């Protein structure tokens, strides 16, 4: 009660700023996993591992070898996309051809996550890694502090998210991907090369996750075991927003980012996530299809 | 005497009024058919009666007891059992196993007895198997009872659906397009089968597009269009009802055959 | 009788020959104790699959069982033999409550949510310091196995527990309940249409599954004599699931075979040092690609092939 209005105002704007900064990068993660799910009906349990891979690519190229940040982001995206393409080609495609049962692909996705986890551990070690600031300085806006590096990450992520939405809505490959997401068989009948576009979608989805990792390593450190936690965040977002829907991914990213911003501002430690997960279960009780999703099952 | 009473029943899907203020009743012992063009709301009506969908408004009474909005298994317990329009099966299981499972409501021995395989539960199990085999034989499926359902031809699966429903010992049987996809001989046999079921004291409410079959089998008919009841009466009356004819006019295949 | 021969031989081997062979090696006894208990815990995941749900929450229920037994024995002085069933009961009840809400989801949605549940339970254990002591965990849990032969006792106890678990699950699949569960796996709506109370049966199955998790976690905890919020985590939850899948979902023995092969395989790879986990993961993914129906399908396909050839 004794809080001065200006203080309250600055708390509010700090939370809004933090939430917004985070939401753009989270949107990349959620868009990636939702894209893969929409076109292949594969829930990518290795999504967080792809994020970790992207993060470490930036760690080595930018942090260790001092390449330009933009170049190292590009490399991260390409490498993770390549990993995604390889996984699609040699793992998922054959299993999908053999059986359309959800369990088989899910099992494989879990196995892939495990594989990438141990690969990351073998390649990158256990240490927590971060990179030097890309830009320095702090801005002050409406009572909130905005570190310049966070602002930069936000700007890049927001541009990428916008670019993705434009791509998916207004370009030929984007329309093909949407057609596949709607109905594989119909898309094939309309002459869409389903196999090739599925691979493209998988690679693109993986790249988005890798980009998110590459961006966030410059503000939050990363370690090779972080994959599962990021996957859990991705799951939370698409369950909140609704799986397989672009607008749902964005909605989920906003909800999670702001929940984190609010939670971590007021409550220390790991309690916020416990509350977020509990909230998720309660939310799904009332809206099992998520905010934007259609009802399933 | 009326066995089922539907009054002012409505169901909306988003902007679509699938069932609109529908009222009718089913008398004990009769075969009542619901007819109407595709998308008229017949299956939606059935699902609401069977408890698979909750209506937005209106009431359903069965045996003078209110069953509106009750879950499927409760409605089934009370004696209303439906079959599915789309062929719906437990893919990997044998035909016999389907019907054995459908005896679920008949099993009275406790779960623990079944778990430890007590004498009582073994005897009950045996009786259920017997009864399942009988039902399959009655519906002409005896010779394929050990075949996995996924390997059975379409016509057999429709009959299997009815066999399962019968095993649940319904007082009112809801059949959603039981003759769909059957050739004339199969339909003739199936008609006799449904008559036989009715003869055994099961009231039948049926949705069907095959007008020849409907006219032969039904005691009474309710015609619906765009979710609304447009006529009700004997097959004769329905055939000559102007609004029914109008509802079917302009359709490519003039199924009414008038 | 013929059908029982294989399992009986396996059983005799497991109860008689294994301890003889490895007698005195506390390392190998520990390995087999782990295998028995992990297999037992995985049986719960298997049962959840039996109603058509992919369960990645078993780590959570192992953790609940572990904390239940730890708190009851250390703080309240309960004897192990009383605390153990209580741990199963607690896990089963929690599973029932949680299950009655989350079991409405299916497919990958259920799988994702159960994974989140594992993480949520870890966070709960971390933050509910009044009961769990938070990150410092509960240590010095009394063990019922003592003396020179404590490892051997624990080995026999876990082997017998696994046996009882297998027997119970096998009976479930053979009786009416199992039939209903299979119906739920195949088509919930069709099951409901013939009068099966779908919600009640799937909660029942899930509660039993969670009770298995609680019991397994409790015994593992007592064996290790300590528990921390990370004792059973997301990795364990996925492991339990992988044991079931790789062993074979069509077979009650699946989780046991999966746990045996995978856990033993992991131990045998320890010579590879830092590449142990990587090689293990590669082999596992290969097994998934080459044996989509699990290890036990191998035996059956061999038998079917020889039958086919016999007919020619
Ligand atoms: N679950 C649903 N969600 C949205 N709309 C639905 C749903 N079920 C049915 N509908 C719509 O409601 C209308 C009535 O459908 P219903 O299946 O009851 O028709 P019907 O009379 O059985 O048709 P048919 O003869 O083709 O089986 C249709 O327009 C259908 O598209
Ligand atoms: Mg219909």
Q: Which residue of A has its CA nearest to C127?
A: A271
Which CA distances in Å does A78 have to A53, A113, C185? 11, 19, 41
Q: What is the pTM of this model?
A: 0.91
Ligand nearest to the CA of B227: 1
Is the confidence at residue A59, as pLDDT, over 80?
A: yes
pLDDT in tens, A95-110: 888 776 777 888 889 9
| CA–CA distance, C70 with C140 (Å, rounded to integer) | 9
- CA-based torsion, A200, A205, A208, A209: positive or negative: negative
User: Are residues B10 and B58 in contact, defined by beta-carbon separation less than 8 angstroms?
Assistant: yes
The helix (H) or strand (E) run that includes residue A138 is strand A138-141
User: How does residue A4 score in pLDDT terms, banded at 50, 70 and 90?
Assistant: low
Residues in C lying within 8 Å of B, measured between beta carbons = 171-172, 174-177, 179-180, 182-183, 186-187, 189-199
Ligand 1 in reach of B42 Cβ (< 6 A): yes
Rg (CA), chain B: 19
* DSSP type of residue A295: P
B47 Cβ closer than 6 Å to some ligand 1 atom: no
Among candidates B72, B76, B101 on the partner chain, residue whose Cβ is nearest the Cβ of C183: B101
At residue A272 the predicted structure's pLDDT band, cuts being 50, 70 and 90, is: very high
Q: What is the mean pLDDT of chain A?
A: 90
Nearest to C289 by CA among B42, B27, A96: A96
Distance set, CA C89 to CA A147, B197, C172, C253 (Å): 51, 47, 18, 24
- Provide the pLDDT for residue B109: 79
Ligand 2 geometric centre to CA of A190 (Å): 29
A130 sits in which H/E element: none
Q: Per mean pLDDT, which range of A116-120, A203-207, B113-117 is the poorest?
A: B113-117
User: Which sign does the torsion angle of CA C31, C35, C37, C41 carry?
Assistant: positive
Residue C309 confidence (pLDDT): 45
For C153, the domain range is 2-311
Better-scored residue on pLDDT, A260 or B246: A260
Residue after which a domain boundary falls, among B143, B167, B191: B167
Number of domains in chain B: 2
pLDDT at residue A274, as a whole number? 93
φ/ψ of B223, rounded to 5, equals -105, 135
* 3-class SS letters over chain B: CEEEEEEEEEEEECCEEEEEEEEEEEECCCEEEEECCCCCCHHHHHHHHHCCCCCCEEEEEECCEECCCCCHHHHHHHCEEECCCCCCCCCCCEHHHHHHHCCHHHCCCCHHHHHCCCHHHHHHHHHHHHHHHHHHHHCCCHHHCCCEHHHCCHHHHHHHHHHHHHHCCCCEEEEECCCCCCCHHHHHHHHHHHHHHHHCCCEEEEECCCHHHHHHHCCEEEEEECCEEEEEECHHHHHCCHHHHHHHCCCCCCCCCC
Query: Residue A206: which pLDDT band, with cuts at 50, 70 and 90?
Result: very high
**What pLDDT is stored for residue B15 in this prediction?**
87
Band the pLDDT of A185: cuts 50, 70, 90. Answer: confident
Residues B162 and B225 in one domain: no
Closest-CA residue of C relative to A277 is C120
Structure tokens at A183: 């109905």
- Tell me which of B17, B41, B84, B227 to substitute to probe ligand 1's pocket, judged by most ligand atoms within 8 Å of the beta carbon: B41
Nearest atom of ligand 1 to the alpha carbon of B37: 25
Q: Report yes or no on B85 lying in a domain.
A: no
pLDDT in tens, A85-95: 999 999 888 88
Positive or negative CA dihedral for C22, C23, C24, C29?
Answer: positive
The ligand minimizing its distance to the Cα of B224 is 1
Query: Which string of b and e fits A135-160 if b means at least 16 CB within 10 Å?
Result: eeeeeeeeebebbebbbbbbebbbeb
Ramachandran region, residue A185 (left: φ > 0; alpha: ψ -120 to 50; beta: rest) = alpha
Contacts of C207 (CB under 8 A, 6+ apart): C92, C93, C95, C96, C99
- Does any domain span residue B119? yes
Answer whether A209's CB lies under 8 Å from A51's CB: yes
What does chain A come to in residues? 297
| C270 CB within 8 Å of a chain A CB | no
Determine the Cα–Cα distance for residues A182 and A204; give it in Å rounded to an integer.
Answer: 18
Ligand 1 in contact with B40 (CB < 6 A)?
yes
- Contact in structure between B197 and B206 (CB atoms under 8 Å): no
Reported ipTM: the value is 0.91
Q: How far does residue B16's CA lie from ligand 1's centre (Å)?
A: 9
pLDDT of residue C308: 46
C-alpha torsion sign, points A117, A123, A126, A131: negative
B206 plus B219 within the same structural domain: yes
B43 located within any domain: yes
SS3 A141: strand
Q: Provide the pLDDT for residue C66.
A: 97
The reply to whether B257 falls in a domain is no
Are A111 and C106 an interchain contact pair (Cβ–Cβ within 8 Å)?
no
Query: Distance from C227 to chain A by nearest Cα, in Å?
Result: 19
Task: Out of C172, C194, C195, name the one closest to residue B115 (CB).
Answer: C172
Phi, psi of B208 (to 5 degrees): -155, 145
Per-residue confidence (pLDDT) for residue A295, from 0 to 100: 43
Q: Which residues contact A102 (CB under 8 A, 6 or more apart)?
A: A41, C54, C107, C108
Chain centroid to Cα A36, Å, comes to: 11
Do B75 and B127 sit in the same domain of this protein? no
Rounded to a whole number of angstroms, the CA Rg of chain C reads 20
Query: In A, which residues are within 8 Å of C280 by CB distance?
Result: 118
Token match 């003889």: residue? Answer: C20
**Is the torsion defined by CA of B9, B13, B14, B18 positive or negative?**
negative
Q: What's residue C4's pLDDT?
A: 66
Same domain, B27 and B127: no
Strands (E), chain C: 138-139, 226-227
Question: How many Å lie between the alpha carbon of B5 and the closest alpha carbon of chain C?
Answer: 20
Report residue A179 as tokens. Answer: 């057609």
Domain count, chain C: 1
Do residues B129 and B242 share a domain? no
Going by pLDDT thresholds of 50, 70 and 90, the confidence category of residue A296 is very low
Residues B111, B9 within the same domain: no
Nearest-CB residue to B92 (from C186, C192, C198): C186
Q: Is the CB of B85 within 6 Å of ligand 1?
A: yes
Contact A27, C96 (CB under 8 A): no
The set of chains that have 3 or more CB pairs under 8 A with C is: A, B
Question: Cα of A58 to ligand 1 centre, how many Å?
Answer: 53
User: Are A132 and A63 a contacting pair, CB within 8 Å?
Assistant: yes
> Are residues B217 and B237 part of one domain?
yes
Of C275, C274, C248, the closest CA to residue C261 belongs to C248
Across chain C, which distance is largest between two alpha carbons, in Å?
70
C179, C194, C199: residue with CB nearest B164: C194
Per-residue tokens: C300: 């059956």
Q: Do C107 and A297 touch (CB under 8 A)?
A: yes
**What is the C-alpha to C-alpha distance for residues A201 and A204, in angstroms, rounded to an integer?**
5
Q: For residue C110, give the nearest of C64, C52, C61 by alpha carbon.
A: C52
- Chains linked to A by 3 or more Cβ pairs within 8 Å: C
Please check whether residue B84 lies inside any domain of the structure: no
pLDDT at C17: 76
Q: Where residue A9 falls among pLDDT bands split at 50, 70, 90?
A: confident
Which chains does chain B touch, 3 or more C-beta pairs < 8 A? C
pLDDT at A1 over 60: no
Cβ-based contacts of B50 with chain C (< 8 Å): 193
Chain mean position to CA B123: 30
Low-confidence residues in chain B, pLDDT < 50: 250, 252, 254, 257-258
Which residue in chain C has the smallest CA separation from B170? Answer: C194
Residues of C in contact with A83 (CB under 8 A): none
- Angle of CA points C53, C54, C56, to nearest 5°: 135
Any idea how long chain B is? 258
Q: Provide, as residue numbers in chain C, all residues whose Cβ is less than 8 Å from the Cβ of A297.
A: 105-107, 109
On whether any CB of chain A is under 8 Å from the CB of C168, the answer is no
B217 found inside a domain: yes
Say if residue B159 is in the same domain as residue B178.
no
Q: What is the CA radius of gyration of chain A?
A: 19
Measured distance CA(A262)–CA(A256) in Å, rounded: 10
Output the average pLDDT for chain C.
89
Check CB contact under 8 Å for C112 and A288.
no
Q: What is the mean pLDDT of residues C279-287?
A: 89
User: What ranges do the domains of chain A cover?
Assistant: 21-226
Q: Which residue has the tokens 């993060």?
A: A55
Closest to C209 in 3D by CA, of C234, C237, C189: C237
Check whether C180 has a pLDDT greater than 90.
yes
Q: What is the CATH number of the domain that holds B15?
A: 3.40.50.300
Three-state DSSP class for residue A145: strand
Q: Within 10 Å of residue C185's Cβ, how many Cβ atoms?
A: 19
- For residues B176 and C190, what is the distance between their CA atoms, to the nearest angstrom? 14
Q: Which of C124, C274, C282 sits opposite A115 (nearest CB)?
A: C282
Residue C304 has what pLDDT? Answer: 53
Are B104 and B175 in the same domain?
no
Report the separation in Å between the CA atom of A192 and the middle of ligand 2, taken as the mean of its atom positions: 32
- Nearest-CA residue of chain C relative to B98? C183
Say if residue B139 is in the same domain as residue B181: no
Whether residues B115 and C198 touch (CB distance < 8 A) is answered with no
Using 50, 70 and 90 to split pLDDT, how confident is the model at C307? very low
Distance B204 CA to ligand 1 centre (A): 21
Which domain covers residue B20, as residue numbers? 1-79+170-251
- Cβ-based contacts of B72 with chain C (< 8 Å): 189, 192-193, 195
B18 lines ligand 1 (CB under 6 A): yes
């Amino acid at each position: 009660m004794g809080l001065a209005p200006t203080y309250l105002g600055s708390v509010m704007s700090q939370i809004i700023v933090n939430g917004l900064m985070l939401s753009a990068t989270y949107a990349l993660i959620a868009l990636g996993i939702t894209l893969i799910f929409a076109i292949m009906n594969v829930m990518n349990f290795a999504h967080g591992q792809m994020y970790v891979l992207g993060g470490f690519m930036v760690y080595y190229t930018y942090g260790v070898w001092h390449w330009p940040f933009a170049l190292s982001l590009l490399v991260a995206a390409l490498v993770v996309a390549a990993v995604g393409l390889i996984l699609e080609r040699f793992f998922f495609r054959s299993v999908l051809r053999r059986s359309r049962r959800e369990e088989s692909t899910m099992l494989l996705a879990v196995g892939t996550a495990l594989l990438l986890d141990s690969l990351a551990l073998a390649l990158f070690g256990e240490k927590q890694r971060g990179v030097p600031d890309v830009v320095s300085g702090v801005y002050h806006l409406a009572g909130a502090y905005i570190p310049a590096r966070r602002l930069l990450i936000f700007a890049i992520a927001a541009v990428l998210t916008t670019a993705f939405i434009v791509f998916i809505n207004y370009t030929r490959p984007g329309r093909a991907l949407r057609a596949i997401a709607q109905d594989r068989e119909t898309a094939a009948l309309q002459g869409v090369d389903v196999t090739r576009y599925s691979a493209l979608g998988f690679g693109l989805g993986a790249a988005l996750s890798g980009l998110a990792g590459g961006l966030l390593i410059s503000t939050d450190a990363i370690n090779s075991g972080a994959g599962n936690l990021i996957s859990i965040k991705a799951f939370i977002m698409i369950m909140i927003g609704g799986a397989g829907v672009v607008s749902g991914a964005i909605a989920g990213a906003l909800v999670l980012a702001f929940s984190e911003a609010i939670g971590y501002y007021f409550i220390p430690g790991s309690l916020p996530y416990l509350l977020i997960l509990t909230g998720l279960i309660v939310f799904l009780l009332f809206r099992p299809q998520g905010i934007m999703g259609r009802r399933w099952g | 005497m009326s066995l089922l009473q539907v009054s002012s029943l409505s169901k909306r899907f988003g902007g679509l009024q699938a069932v609109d203020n529908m009222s009718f009743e089913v008398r004990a012992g009769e075969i009542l058919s619901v007819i109407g063009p595709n998308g008229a709301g017949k299956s939606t009506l059935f699902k609401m009666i069977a408890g698979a969908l909750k209506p937005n408004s209106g009431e359903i009474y069965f045996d003078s007891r209110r069953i509106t909005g009750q879950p499927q298994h409760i409605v089934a317990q009370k004696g209303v059992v439906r079959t599915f329009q789309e062929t719906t099966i437990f893919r990997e299981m044998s035909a016999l196993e389907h019907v054995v499972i459908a005896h679920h409501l008949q099993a009275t021995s406790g779960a623990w007895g079944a778990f430890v395989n007590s004498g009582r539960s073994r005897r009950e199990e045996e009786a259920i198997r017997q009864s399942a085999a009988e039902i399959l034989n009655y519906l002409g499926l005896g010779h394929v009872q050990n075949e996995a359902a996924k390997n059975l031809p379409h016509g057999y699966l429709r009959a299997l659906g009815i066999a399962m429903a019968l095993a649940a010992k319904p007082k009112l049987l809801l059949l959603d397009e039981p003759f769909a996809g059957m050739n004339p001989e199969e339909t003739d046999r199936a008609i006799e089968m449904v008559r036989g079921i009715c003869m055994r004291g099961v009231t039948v409410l049926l949705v069907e597009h095959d007008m020849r079959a409907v006219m032969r089998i039904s005691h009474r008919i309710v015609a619906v269009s765009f979710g609304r009841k447009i006529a009700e009466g004997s097959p004769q009356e329905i055939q000559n009802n102007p609004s029914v004819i109008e509802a079917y006019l302009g359709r490519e295949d003039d199924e009414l055959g008038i | 009788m013929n059908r029982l021969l294989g399992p009986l031989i396996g059983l005799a081997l497991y109860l008689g020959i294994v301890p003889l062979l490895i007698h005195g090696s506390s390392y190998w006894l520990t390995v087999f104790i782990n295998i028995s208990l992990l297999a037992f815990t995985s049986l719960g995941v298997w049962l959840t699959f039996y109603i058509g749900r992919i369960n990645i929450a078993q780590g959570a229920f192992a953790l609940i069982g572990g904390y239940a037994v730890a708190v009851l024995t250390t703080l309240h002085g309960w004897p192990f033999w009383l605390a153990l069933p209580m741990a199963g009961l607690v896990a089963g009840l929690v599973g029932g409550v949680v299950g009655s809400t989350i079991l409405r989801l299916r497919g990958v949605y259920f799988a994702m949510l159960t994974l989140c549940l594992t993480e949520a339970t870890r966070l709960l254990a971390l933050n509910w310091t009044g009961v769990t002591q938070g990150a410092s965990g509960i240590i010095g849990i009394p063990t019922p196995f003592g003396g020179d032969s404590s490892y051997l006792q624990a080995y026999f106890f876990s082997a017998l527990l696994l046996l009882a678990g297998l027997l119970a699950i096998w009976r479930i699949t053979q009786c009416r309940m199992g039939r209903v569960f299979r119906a739920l796996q195949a088509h919930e709506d069709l099951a409901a249409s013939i009068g099966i109370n779908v919600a009640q049966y799937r909660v029942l199955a899930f509660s039993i599954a969670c009770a298995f998790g609680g019991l397994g976690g409790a015994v593992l905890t007592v064996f290790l004599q300590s528990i921390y919020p990370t004792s059973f985590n997301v990795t364990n939850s996925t492991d339990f699931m992988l044991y079931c899948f790789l062993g074979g979902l069509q077979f009650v023995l699946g989780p046991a075979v999966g746990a045996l092969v995978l856990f033993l395989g992991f131990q045998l790879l320890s010579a590879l040092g830092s590449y142990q986990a990587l090689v293990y993961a590669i082999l596992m993914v290969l097994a998934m690609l080459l044996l989509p129906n699990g290890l036990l399908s191998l035996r059956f396909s061999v038998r079917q092939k020889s039958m086919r050839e016999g007919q020619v």
